[in-house]
Amino acid sequence: MKISKEEIEHIAVLARLSLSGEEKELFGSQLSSILDYMEKLNELDTKGIEPTSHVLSLSNVMRDDIPRPSIPKEDVLMNAPDHTEKFFRVPKIIE
């Protein structure tokens, strides 16, 4: 499928790209090759094949979320370079 120069320019505008004439030719031929390949894939008979999101069957291996007691506040603040009675003290970053 041949892509026209106008279509390449339109795609470049949508992608906010500034392309030279050589780049338009190069990307035009590359996009045409990609679309030709997609047309070839459309020729395959995919009836009865379930859609997938991944080629491998993956499953998340996660442990159960079991609540546990947390570290005491005093122990956590003891490791902080600067803190108040209840909070970490950090440098101001927004003026």
pLDDT tens-place string over residues 22-76: 999 999 999 999 999 999 988 888 888 888 877 787 788 888 889 999 999 888 8
Q: Is residue 92 part of a domain?
A: no
pLDDT at 78: 87
pTM exceeds 0.75, yes or no:
no
Whether residue 21 lies inside any domain: the answer is yes
In a domain, 32, yes or no: yes
Asked, for residue 36, whether it belongs to a domain, the answer is yes
- Please report whether residue 69 resides in a domain: no
> Band of the pLDDT at 11, cuts 50, 70, 90?
very high
User: In 58-82, which positions are buried (b, 16+ CB within 10 angstroms) versus exposed (e)?
Assistant: eeeeeeeeeeeeeeeeeeebeeeee
With respect to residue 30, please indicate whether it lies within any of the assigned structural domains.
yes
The whole-number pLDDT of residue 63 equals 85
Q: Identify which of 36, 35, 1, 26 has the alpha carbon closest to the alpha carbon of residue 12.
A: 26
Amino acid at 46: T
Classify residue 76: in a domain, yes or no.
no
Evaluate whether residue 12 is within a structural domain.
yes
Contact assessment for residue 32 and residue 3, using Cβ atoms and an 8 Å cutoff = yes
CATH code for the domain in which residue 32 is found: 1.10.20.60
Domain count, the chain: 1
